A and B are shown apart, each in its own frame.
Chain A
Amino acid sequence: MIELPTLGWQSIVILVVFGVSLLIATYCTYAERVIAAFLQDRVGPDRAGPFGLLQPLADAVKLFTKEEFFPAGANKALFIMGPCLAMITALMSSAVIPFGNVIQFGNNVFNLQGIEVNIGMLWVFGIVSLGVYGVMIGGWASNNKFSLLGAIRAGSQNISYELAMGMALIAVLMISGTLSLREITLQQSVAGEWHFWNIVKQPLGFIIFLVCAFAETNRTPFDLPECETELVGGYHTEYSSMKMGLYLFAEYVNVFVASAVMSVLYFGGFNFPFQYELRDWLVSAQGWELMSAQNLISVLGLLGLFGKIFAFIFFFMWVRWTLPRFRYDQLMRLGWTILIPLAIFNIVLTGGLILGGIIK
């Protein structure tokens, strides 16, 4: 029934997703400051524009006009490549996220998703693990011991937590039986049946995934790669101007993508409670056409997904301004001796429950 969208439509969606990711990342910088300020009983930026809403613009102008600095002995090509890679990989992973169900006009079906592939989950994880190259290359090319230490930390941390993250994911895949993010979303709510979001079936897996998402995006309490107290600025010590800005930006895009992936995998994606009841009520009581009712549901689902994503982004920031940083050995111990065994236990538990017919 669902036609493959045309190439033109796909490129429009990709462009929009690209723009929206950048916009959200821009306003994350503002939100982070305001949330940090509120959590600490302060006011936050309120000078640039109404409520300080033009603050990201002012920041961008500041970063663009700063000096482009190249440290002596730095490998220039790699030094430039680092932030570019970080940004590219951060932006690429949002292409496969289903932001909404299909919208239909007559015979034209438009899918609110960049690329619908049956390996969506693998795509996201492949790209996310490539993301560490941006940090590693940037840290290495800086020719600075603090940058190098930060890069090494980033590498080992990401590798350690990717394992637990992947294993938490396997439990989800055992339930869904597919790697397609769209399929996973659709399975979490089927018309006429009582279906739960995956968080109900996978509470332990979600917690593991959440903790690993913090480590993968290098956010507090796992922001050891840029640990200011020990490493000056970590892997971006030597960066200035917009190259620095790209690193910071990539972090927020990563937070956005991580929030989107968690919403899709565990919180029903673009589904929202009582959507089919609402559609049927519109059709039967209000006399709407089935197609336009479905389109309305799709649009509401799109907004719902963004609501979930914003809630997760808020949570990322809330945690950042609450918890202190882990020590490096604590970080490694948590990853290898707690999260990975827990993830394996979760797989076994899920398998048992599936075999017992308790969850499907």
Chain B
Amino acid sequence: MQSLSNRAKKLEAKPMTLAERAYLPAIFQGLSITMRHFFRAATKKQVTVRYPEEQRPFSPIFRGLHVLKRDEVGRERCTACGLCAVACPAEAITMVAGERKKGEEGLYREEKYAVSYEVNMLRCIFCGLCEEACPKAAVYLQPDKMAPPRFERDEFIYGKDRLVEPVDPAARSIRGIQLTPEQAQALSQRIAQ
């Protein structure tokens, strides 16, 4: 068959030369290659990350464990509209809505709030669609935390106790960046008013 590109090479199975049949030259070549790798591994910095002690840095746009944010004065932002649960392709989010009572204005921002809010971390694919769907900017995927491994499956269902941001502003973070003491101080004062 004629080659159209003129790039085809004709290959023939040549009989092995004496050096090839004696194996030894090829063996020494192979040995020298592996020895180079040996010294590289023994002397240079290895690429292996020794996991629990060393950790790879997270990317700034990493999507990790969910958090339910509070507003500037420490009220929960979530209004239990359910848009995140609808947006979730893995159906990992469930919630129960409730009405805010009188006297709870300091706890919940809207009149309707989530009595319970659960994310199943075994179902979640960390796509971030809940974050995009949220009209109240309440749910975020943190860029610096992962759902840690557990022994029991039900421990992966995160309720509000583990999802809602802590009340203390000093323990909060914005997109993974810890608040500075000044920022935390200012926030605490606004909450006190």
- Asked if A58 is an interface residue, CB under 8 A from chain B, the answer is no
| The stretch of A38-46, A122-130, A132-140 that contacts the partner chain | A38-46
- Asked if B50 is an interface residue, CB under 8 A from chain A, the answer is yes
- Residues in B whose Cβ lies below 8 Å from that of A319: 27, 31
Q: Which partner residue on chain B sits nearest A207 by CB separation?
A: B24
Given contacts A43-B48, A318-B35, contact A38 B30 (CB under 8 A): no
Given contacts A38-B38, A39-B41, A318-B34, contact A323 B46 (CB under 8 A): no
- Residues in A whose Cβ lies below 8 Å from that of B30: 322-323
Q: How large is the interface on B (under 10, 10 to 19, 20 to 34, 35 or more residues)?
A: 10 to 19
- Residues in A whose Cβ lies below 8 Å from that of B24: 207
Given contacts A318-B31, A319-B31, A322-B30, contact A42 B38 (CB under 8 A): no
Interface positions, chain A 38-95, Cβ under 8 Å from B, are: 38-43, 46
- Residues in A whose Cβ lies below 8 Å from that of B50: 43, 46
Given contacts A41-B46, A42-B48, contact A321 B34 (CB under 8 A): yes
Provide the bound-state CA to CA distance between A38 and B34, in Å. Answer: 9
Q: Are B37 and A39 in contact (CB under 8 A)?
A: yes
Q: Are A42 and B34 in contact (CB under 8 A)?
A: no
Given contacts A46-B50, A323-B27, contact A41 B34 (CB under 8 A): no
- Residues in A whose Cβ lies below 8 Å from that of B31: 318-319, 322
Interface positions, chain A 304-360, Cβ under 8 Å from B, are: 318-319, 321-323, 334
Return B119 CB to nearest CB of chain A, in Å: 33
- Asked if A291 is an interface residue, CB under 8 A from chain B, the answer is no
- Asked if B40 is an interface residue, CB under 8 A from chain A, the answer is yes
User: Which of B33, B35, B41, B47 has a CB less than 8 Å from the CB of A37?
Assistant: B41
- Asked if A159 is an interface residue, CB under 8 A from chain B, the answer is no
Provide the bound-state CA to CA distance between A37 and B46, in Å. Answer: 11
Given contacts A323-B27, A323-B30, contact A42 B35 (CB under 8 A): no
- Asked if A35 is an interface residue, CB under 8 A from chain B, the answer is yes
Provide the bound-state CA to CA distance between A299 and B107, in Å. Answer: 81
Provide the bound-state CA to CA distance between A114 and B37, in Å. Answer: 40
Provide the bound-state CA to CA distance between A318 and B30, in Å. Answer: 10
Interface positions, chain B 35-92, Cβ under 8 Å from A, are: 35, 37-38, 40-42, 46-48, 50
Provide the bound-state CA to CA distance between A40 and B40, in Å. Answer: 10
Return B18 CB to nearest CB of chain A, in Å: 12
- Residues in B whose Cβ lies below 8 Å from that of A46: 50
Interface positions, chain A 8-49, Cβ under 8 Å from B, are: 35, 37-43, 46
- Residues in B whose Cβ lies below 8 Å from that of A318: 31, 34-35, 38
Return A236 CB to nearest CB of chain B, in Å: 27
Provide the bound-state CA to CA distance between A43 and B44, in Å. Answer: 12
Q: Are B38 and A39 in contact (CB under 8 A)?
A: yes
Provide the bound-state CA to CA distance between A35 and B27, in Å. Answer: 18
* From B41, B42, B48, residue with most partner A Cβ within 10 Å: B41
Given contacts A319-B31, A322-B30, A323-B27, contact A35 B38 (CB under 8 A): yes
Provide the bound-state CA to CA distance between A38 and B24, in Å. Answer: 23
- Residues in B whose Cβ lies below 8 Å from that of A38: 37-38, 41-42
* From B34, B35, B48, B50, residue with most partner A Cβ within 10 Å: B34
Return A330 CB to nearest CB of chain B, in Å: 10
- Residues in B whose Cβ lies below 8 Å from that of A43: 41, 46, 48, 50
Given contacts A46-B50, A323-B30, contact A41 B35 (CB under 8 A): no
Provide the bound-state CA to CA distance between A39 and B36, in Å. Answer: 8
Return A311 CB to nearest CB of chain B, in Å: 13
Provide the bound-state CA to CA distance between A41 and B34, in Å. Answer: 9
Q: Which partner residue on chain B sits nearest A314 by CB separation?
A: B38
Q: Which 6 A-B residue pairings sit nearest by Cβ, starting from the closest?
A: A38-B41, A322-B34, A43-B48, A39-B34, A322-B30, A38-B38
Please, could you name 25 A-B residue pairs with CB atoms under 8 Å apart, sorted by A? Answer: A35-B38, A37-B41, A38-B37, A38-B38, A39-B35, A39-B37, A39-B41, A40-B37, A41-B37, A41-B40, A41-B47, A42-B41, A43-B50, A46-B50, A207-B24, A318-B34, A318-B35, A318-B38, A319-B27, A319-B31, A321-B34, A322-B27, A322-B30, A322-B31, A322-B33
Binding site for B on A (CB under 8 A): 35, 37-43, 46, 207, 318-319, 321-323, 334
